Amino acid sequence: MTEREIELLGMRKENINEYEGDDSYYYVLDLVNGLTFITECNTQVENNDWNVDVFNTEPTIRFTNFAEVQGLLNKLSNAIVSNG
């Protein structure tokens, strides 16, 4: 995936140490409490080829295809039941 596709998924950029002059960052999306999607750090990305992981799983759940992640996020978003 490209960085632009990561942004189109609605993921927000998080700087790692912006106050220390470090320009490292990653993207994150908290879909619901307890379900977070995260990318690797920009310093680990080669050829603008980003991955999206489900945060804190063992083993790692990783997606490399924009359409797959977009479809998953749409299905999950449509299944959210509002508590109010």
Q: Which residue ranges make up each domain of the chain?
A: 3-78
* pLDDT, tens only, 1-16: 999 999 999 999 999 8
* pLDDT, tens only, 25-79: 999 999 999 999 999 999 999 999 999 999 999 999 999 999 999 999 999 999 9
Spatial neighbors of 28 by CB under 8 A, at least 6 apart, are: 11, 12, 14, 36, 37, 38, 39, 55
Band of residue 18 on the pLDDT scale cut at 50, 70, 90: low
Dig out the tokens for 60 from the structure.
Answer: 């790692």
